[in-house]
Amino acid sequence: MQQHILIAGAGKGIGLELVKQMLLTENNIILAVSRDISQLRVMAAKVNTDSGTVRLIPIASDLAKPDFTKVLEEALAEFNFKPEIVVYNVGLLVNKPFAALSNSDFDQMFDANVKGAFRLFQFLLPHLAEGTHLLGISSMGAFQGSAKFPGLSLYSASKAALAVLMECLAEELKDRGIRANALALGAVQTEMLAKAFPGYKAPLSADEMAAFIADFAVNGSRFFNGKIIPVSVSTP
């Protein structure tokens, strides 16, 4: 089955692997947004054909800034793109003790991790059809009762805000048949994790986690709506 899939935060790590996973299904069309789209461009050159078949549309945009909607509006119109799956995978992590966190750290993390999702989903509302699945990528650190880590207070708080936003969207959009969930990921071996926890070896690779997310994005909304689901073998 062909689907139109929008992935926000797709330039590297789990998001880039998610694009690869979604491309495995023939005819899927993926609109992939990130600030750095160099790897997405290489991928697009392989899957898009000269005869005009477009399967991957990389869009360079900073979702922490309000003006991203203009470039997205143009792309939706040009490719007649009607998102059926939207994954908000954008993540920014500043690892600092609570006492050292600045207002700028707060703004950077909340702009990327929460405000971008708010703006993206609000912008997309008129473009979403019945059956659409909205998925927020949150973190185990944001899951109530889970183990917490020093240095991640604001990051975890921002990811908790994203998760609850997804719960609330499920409620507000239920009459339109739109479903929304959040996945609270445990540790995955990516650039973000390596920077935050140098030397730590995560139990899962980005491609393994992306395979799970891809399957959940396609099939999970039949079984889950308005849920924050822990996806972790590493943290209690």
Ligand X SMILES: NC(=O)c1ccc[n+]([C@@H]2O[C@H](COP(=O)([O-])OP(=O)(O)OC[C@H]3O[C@@H](n4cnc5c(N)ncnc54)[C@H](OP(=O)(O)O)[C@@H]3O)[C@@H](O)[C@H]2O)c1
By the rule CB under 6 A, 11 interacts with ligand X: yes
By the rule CB under 6 A, 101 interacts with ligand X: no
Q: Cβ 139 to ligand X, closest distance in Å?
A: 4
- Cα–Cα distance for residue pair 57/171, rounded to 1 Å: 31
Query: Which helix (H) or strand (E) element contains residue 104?
Result: helix 103-110
The closest alpha carbon to 70, from 79, 59, 80, belongs to: 59
For residue 31, the cross-strand partners are 6, 57
Give residues 141-160 in contact with ligand X (rule: CB under 6 A): none
By the rule CB under 6 A, 18 interacts with ligand X: no
Residues 6+ positions from 110 with CB-CB distance below 8 Å: 154, 158, 161
The count of residues interacting with ligand X (CB under 6 A) is: 29
Place of tokens 């935050």: 196
By the rule CB under 6 A, 57 interacts with ligand X: no
Q: CA angle, 158 as apex, 200 and 3 as ends, to 5°?
A: 85
Q: Which of 4, 5, 6, 12 binds ligand X (CB under 6 A)?
A: 12
By the rule CB under 6 A, 62 interacts with ligand X: yes
By the rule CB under 6 A, 35 interacts with ligand X: yes
105: how many CB neighbours lie within 10 A of its CB? Answer: 16
Token pair recorded at residue 192: 């973000």
By the rule CB under 6 A, 91 interacts with ligand X: yes
Q: Cβ 125 to ligand X, closest distance in Å?
A: 20
Candidate segments 89-97, 144-152, 167-175, 216-224, binder of ligand X by CB under 6 A: 89-97
The pairing of beta strand 204-205 with beta strand 4-8? unpaired
- Cα–Cα distance for residue pair 147/235, rounded to 1 Å: 6
Candidate segments 11-19, 45-53, 73-81, 118-126, binder of ligand X by CB under 6 A: 11-19
Candidate segments 47-55, 84-92, 123-131, 222-230, binder of ligand X by CB under 6 A: 84-92
Q: Which of 112, 152, 160, 173 binds ligand X (CB under 6 A)?
A: 112
Q: Cβ 201 to ligand X, closest distance in Å?
A: 11
Residues 6+ positions from 96 with CB-CB distance below 8 Å: 105, 151
By the rule CB under 6 A, 192 interacts with ligand X: yes
The pairing of beta strand 133-139 with beta strand 85-88? parallel
Q: What are the backbone dihedrals phi and psi of residue 46, each rounded to the nearest 5 degrees, phi first?
A: -80, -35
By the rule CB under 6 A, 21 interacts with ligand X: no
Q: Which of 54, 75, 101, 193 binds ligand X (CB under 6 A)?
A: 193
What is the contact surface with ligand X in residues (CB under 6 A)?
Answer: 9-15, 34-36, 62-64, 89-92, 112, 137, 139, 185, 187-188, 190-193, 202, 206
